[in-house]
């Protein structure tokens, strides 16, 4: 039984105990509702105040039975409430409500921020998964990424999902779970390292944006034709610059000048 269930059960037990006492004293002793409530409360709390009226023989038997059940019920209720509070359920619930009521949109992102466990479908729904166009699953643990992709795909079958995988075997699982594209950072890094070792004089386009800020739109070969393919099997991000290539780039005059210098001379140190 969860702590939430025990908490509500304890509250229901207290309410039932109070109702039993009021009804019992009203019927057995013929007291008014106010007098019965008073007698029930001083019995439950064991404060030992004086009785409203002298009890009959039947009333004494009822009092003894009611007192025994009261001690047991109140003890259970107090222990449950203490557990609920010390386990942080109330505090976490309050923080969650406060967070949900203050979801804000950063000026630079223009998108809501939702804090929570991405594996929880409720959190994904709060983040707008049902109407989203895309999702990036980049959690640190492989199993979590697979679960998030699977959950998101079930909630929105039109969603474009890009997921991170540490190994190729995990990539296959992500694709089966519903990922449209899988990126393996270790493989990308490995290819870069190998390319840097085998062809150190070839400039990879990734270095261009890092050092110049210019955006490379396309790479033309020596024959003047684009080396990129319309299907995307060969795009700018997968090509390296070779002799007699021509770059189509976008940037400010300064960035384009740095681009030209970078291609000819390599990285240029800048002072900050």
pLDDT exceeds 60 at position 271:
no
pLDDT in tens, 93-145: 666 666 555 555 444 555 667 777 888 888 888 888 888 889 998 888 888 88
Structural domain contains residue 214: yes
Per-residue tokens: 85: 């509070």
Q: Does the residue 68 lie in any domain?
A: yes
What is the rounded end-to-end Cα distance, in angstroms, of the chain?
Answer: 60
pLDDT value at residue 214: 73
User: Could you tell me if 230 and 260 lie in one domain?
Assistant: yes
User: How many folded domains does the chain comprise?
Assistant: 3
Among residues 158, 159, 185, 157, the alpha carbon closest in space to that of 171 is found at: 185
Give the Cα-Cα-Cα angle 197, 235, 258 (nearest 5 degrees). Answer: 65
> What integer pLDDT is reported at residue 132 of this predicted model?
86
- 198 belongs to a structural domain: no
**Alpha helices (H) along the chain:** 3-29, 33-44, 57-86, 89-101, 121-126, 142-155, 168-177, 185-198, 205-212, 253-265
Q: Edge to edge, what strands does the sheet with 134-137 contain?
A: 134-137, 160-164, 181-183
User: Is residue 155 situated within a structural domain?
Assistant: yes
For residues 271 and 10, which has the higher predicted lDDT (pLDDT)?
Answer: 10
Residue 226 belongs to a domain with what CATH number? Answer: 3.30.70
Q: What is the DSSP letter of 226?
A: B
| Residue carrying structure tokens 């990036």 | 136
**Rounded CA gap, 23 and 29, in Å?**
10
CB 60 within 8 A of CB 66: no
List the Cα angle 205/207/212 in 5-degree steps: 100
Q: Is 177 exposed, middle or buried (0-12, 13-18, 19+ CB in 10 A)?
A: buried
The answer to whether residue 117 sits within a structural domain is yes
State the DSSP code for 49: P
In 127-144, which positions are buried (b, 16+ CB within 10 angstroms) versus exposed (e)?
A: bebeebeebebebeebee
Q: Are residues 136 and 176 in the same domain?
A: yes
Instruction: Identify whether residues 8 and 79 lie together within a single domain.
Output: yes
Structure tokens at 196: 């840097």
Shared-domain flag, residues 181 and 219: no
Give the pLDDT confidence of 5-25 residue by residue, as tens digits. 887 888 888 889 899 989 998
Q: How much of the chain, in percent, has pLDDT values that exceed 70?
A: 75
Residues 155 and 207 in one domain: no
pLDDT average, residue stretch 241-269: 75
CA distance 143 to 141: 6
Domain that residue 55 falls in: 3-86
Tokens, residue 129: 């998964």
pLDDT digits (tens, 9 = 90+) for 193-220: 776 676 554 555 556 666 677 777 777 8
């Amino acid at each position: 039984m969860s702590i939430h269930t025990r908490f509500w059960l304890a509250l229901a037990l207290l309410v039932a105990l109070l109702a039993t006492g009021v009804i019992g004293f009203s019927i057995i002793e013929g007291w008014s509702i106010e007098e019965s409530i008073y007698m029930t409360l001083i019995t439950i709390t064991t404060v030992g105040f004086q009785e409203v009226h002298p009890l009959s023989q039947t009333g004494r038997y009822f009092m003894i039975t009611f007192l025994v059940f009261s001690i047991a019920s109140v003890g259970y209720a107090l222990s449950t409430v203490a557990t609920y509070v010390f386990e942080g359920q109330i505090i976490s619930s309050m923080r969650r409500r406060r967070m949900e009521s203050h979801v804000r949109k950063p000026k630079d992102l223009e998108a809501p921020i939702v804090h929570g466990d991405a594996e929880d479908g409720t959190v994904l729904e709060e983040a707008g998964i049902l109407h989203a166009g895309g999702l990036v699953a980049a959690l640190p643990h492989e199993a979590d990424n697979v679960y998030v992709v699977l959950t998101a795909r079930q909630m929105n079958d039109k969603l474009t999902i890009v997921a991170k995988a540490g190994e190729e075997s995990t990539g296959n699982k992500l694709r089966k779970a519903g990922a449209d594209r899988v990126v393996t950072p270790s493989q990308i890094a490995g290819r870069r390292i190998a390319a840097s070792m085998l062809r150190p004089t070839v400039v990879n386009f990734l270095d261009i944006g890092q050092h110049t800020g210019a955006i490379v739109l396309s790479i033309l070969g020596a024959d003047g034709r684009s080396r990129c393919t319309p299907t995307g099997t060969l795009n700018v991000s997968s090509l390296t610059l070779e002799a007699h290539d021509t770059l189509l780039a976008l940037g400010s005059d300064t960035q384009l000048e740095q681009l030209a210098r970078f291609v000819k001379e390599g990285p240029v140190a800048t002072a900050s």
